[in-house]
Amino acid sequence: MSRAFVGEHDSWGDPGYRITLPPRDDPGFDAAAATAILEAARVGQTGSAEMATGYYWGEPRLFPAVRAILETARAESDERLVELCERYLQI
């Protein structure tokens, strides 16, 4: 994982950074996890999102959700989110 996406904390993840996710068996969990990881990366809290979701940055299982988020980010001209999605997908 790139240090560009983690906060400068001595520990992995900030317990004060809160992420709300559906139950793991919910069909929307992976999409919510992808959103959580990308939004956490935006604010330097990738480790917190990894702890909350159980997925690490670059997890291939989340590629379909990240691709969908990328399309929306491009349509909304959210350049930072486009950049994060592309880095996640290593485009």
Determine the pLDDT at residue 16: 66
**Which tokens belong to 79?**
């350049």
Determine the pLDDT at residue 5: 47
Q: Look up the pTM and report it.
A: 0.81
Q: Which residues pair with 6 in a beta bridge?
A: 45
Residue 15 pLDDT grade (very low, low, confident, very high; cuts 50, 70, 90): low
Span 34-76, pLDDT tens digits: 999 999 999 999 999 999 999 999 999 999 999 999 999 999 9
Query: How many other C-beta atoms are found inside a 10 Å radius of the C-beta of residue 39?
Result: 15
CA pair distance 76, 18, nearest whole angstrom? 25
